[in-house]
């Protein structure tokens, strides 16, 4: 195993990572977008983005786009390259505020987290649409890992922490169990060639209705390109 440093909260770090990775001339068969924070107090990344939106979503948006050419070169007709993005059931209650994606008007840790997870689902569906239109041998799917016993909950209210400590063994998945659907999406022959799916407990299921809004998907993609400073040629050609 070889590690390369990448800070998903830094656009500079992401670009440096991609440059280092490309220099190795390695194929890229599987990309798992899994970094995230939850319910953090209002604060910004070094690029000035609200942290949930900047790290959970925009970091993965930029990373995936910068690696797309390598993924396309690595996939074949019989073995597609795969992009797996980890969202959350929280996306079902999320609302995308296109006029205030940075939550500047009214900050809510729960609202900002849910919005970032909804954005990941919208991004995945739009990405799959563009990959299909381009005839690429790359698939993009989104995963709901379930409620997993990890350090992600360190910013929740202390009462919730106590309840979690007392009941995690009964109601929470272990990290290994939480990773199972992501691994399934990454390697299972059952999803070979299948993209644009929302997966939970290793099964395809329905995401929030709003996530299927193609115009919203397109508008979010366009705005995201502006934010991270990349071309939006795909949307203009679509």
Q: How many whole angstroms separate alpha carbon 36 and alpha carbon 234?
A: 27
What contacts 22, CB < 8 A, 6 or more positions away? Answer: 70
CB 147 within 8 A of CB 167: no
Q: How many whole angstroms separate alpha carbon 64 and alpha carbon 170?
A: 36
Which one of 5, 92, 107, 113 is the catalytic residue? 113
Q: In the annotation, is 153 catalytic? A: no
CB 206 within 8 A of CB 89: no
Helices 59-74 and 109-134 cross at an angle (nearest 10°) of: 20
Q: How many whole angstroms separate alpha carbon 28 and alpha carbon 153?
A: 31
The catalytic site residues sit at: 113
């Amino acid at each position: 195993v070889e590690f390369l440093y990448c800070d998903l909260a830094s656009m500079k770090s992401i670009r440096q990572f991609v440059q280092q990775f490309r220099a190795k001339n390695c194929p890229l068969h599987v990309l798992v977008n899994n970094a995230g924070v939850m319910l953090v107090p209002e604060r910004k990344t070094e690029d000035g983005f609200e942290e949930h939106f900047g790290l959970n979503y925009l970091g993965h948006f930029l990373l995936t786009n910068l690696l797309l050419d390598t993924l396309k070169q690595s996939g074949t007709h019989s073995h597609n390259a795969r992009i797996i993005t980890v969202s959350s059931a929280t996306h079902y209650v999320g609302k995308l505020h296109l006029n205030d994606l940075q939550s500047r008007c009214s900050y809510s840790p729960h609202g900002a987290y849910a919005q970032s997870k909804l954005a990941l689902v919208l991004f995945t569906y739009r990405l799959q649409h563009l990959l299909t239109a381009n005839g690429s041998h790359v698939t993009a799917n989104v995963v709901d890992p379930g409620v997993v016993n990890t350090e992600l909950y360190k910013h929740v209210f202390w009462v919730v922490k106590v309840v979690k400590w007392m009941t995690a063994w009964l109601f929470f998945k272990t990290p290994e169990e939480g990773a199972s659907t992501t691994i399934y999406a990454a390697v299972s022959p059952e999803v070979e060639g299948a993209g644009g799916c929302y997966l939970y407990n290793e099964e395809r299921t329905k995401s929030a209705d709003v996530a299927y809004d193609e115009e919203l998907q397109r508008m979010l993609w366009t705005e995201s390109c502006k934010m991270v400073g990349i071309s939006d040629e795909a949307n203009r050609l679509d």
